[in-house]
Amino acid sequence: MPADRRPRGPGNPGAHTAWVAGSVGPHLRIAAKSARMLLERHLTQAGASFGTWTVLAVLEGAGPMIQRVLAASLGIEGPTLTRHLDRLEELGLIRRNRDGADRRYALVELTPAGRMLCHELDAIARAANEELLSGFSEDETAQLKSMLQRLTRNASKNSQD
């Protein structure tokens, strides 16, 4: 089929959207997914998950938090967090203190067991991060972080209007 008669579409260099393959977006998505999968593999070997580690890490860093503030800090919806917290509470890793008449208000805090697991998972996450950045110099890592922060700022400029 002559080049000018080929249908335009995915995988066809003549497609109107061919520029996407060379753009930053797909590379960011693949890199983020690969990094997450690497961390998940490490955490799974320790019997944990990304969700468990992130909840414990936020609570360790910020201290006790109201459940809806914790959900916002994690960038997840309340019902999703509730499922995580139900499981973590059953495992004795967190405690929810409901105070007052409003049962929706719950202060979430780590238990000693949760704090200990958080420290163990932190070491695992650090090892995964080192594996991810293997072969990068400190300057390259700093430059990468700076560029990613700039991309984030650029992407969120118009959303704050």
Predicted confidence (pLDDT) per residue in 116-132, tens digit: 999 999 999 999 999 99
Q: Per-residue confidence at 22, pLDDT binned at 50, 70, 90?
A: confident
Q: For the chain, list the domains and their CATH numbers.
A: 46-125 (1.10.10.10)
Max mean pLDDT range (2-6, 45-49, 140-144): 140-144
Using DSSP's 3-state secondary structure scheme, residue 19 falls into: helix
| Residue 70 predicted with pLDDT over 90 | yes
What is the pLDDT averaged over residues 44-60?
A: 94
Ramachandran sector of residue 99 (left: φ over 0; alpha: ψ -120 to 50; beta: rest)? beta
Largest CA distance in the chain: 75
Q: What is the reported pLDDT for 10?
A: 56
Q: Per-residue confidence at 30, pLDDT binned at 50, 70, 90?
A: very high
Nearest to 61 by CA among 50, 73, 44, 71: 73
